[in-house]
Structure 1
């Protein structure tokens, strides 16, 4: 897989009550990813960027809602989320990863 493509697959971490609960109880992290990203690409990207061992990858695509803005009808974009299961004893530190990414 292309190194440049892997660095662009992960868009942002998802910070919500559900994602925090998954992190605590099941050792899973949640990320927004590109809509056309495959599970193999997501796994390789997380292992490359954060240096952790990934056990499982589950994806879910949320369809965007149709919203009304006055007289015009708009549509929110679709969002693909990836739930990353980490190996036992592995921990993913987003703050340290962001700090090293800023230095590069």
Structure 2
């Protein structure tokens, strides 16, 4: 397996997921992100701790299934991502509201 540079690991975390189910997970201090499939749980943990300055207790991950996409006659596959649920320590939270 090829080594991944830590600086590029931060770019491989795509974005947080905001759905009804993930909002219920927020009550347990669990946050859901889409990441690149090449990341391991250890890489995800280090990147989240670095980006948000929090303590990660547990990382659950699952590969999402392939989805077909059709454009005219061409049938292709959408980009694949990995869904990651990150559990933080009780005293830590992540604020997604932007102040821009």
Task: Point out where structure 2 has 5 or more consecutive residues left out of the alignment.
Answer: none
1:28–1:84 CA contact under 8 A, matched in 2: yes
Change (3 A) 1:3 1:68: closer
Aligned CA distance change for structure 1 residues 52 and 18 (closer, same or farther; 3 Å): same
Aligned length, in residue pairs: 97
Give the deviation of 1:80 after TM superposition.
0.5
Q: Which residue of 2 aligns with 1:4?
A: 7
Unaligned runs of 5+ in 1: none
Q: More helix by proportion, 1 or 2?
A: 1
User: TM-score under structure 1 normalisation?
Assistant: 0.80
For the 8 Å contact 2:15–2:35, the answer to whether it is kept is: yes
What is aligned with 1:64? 66
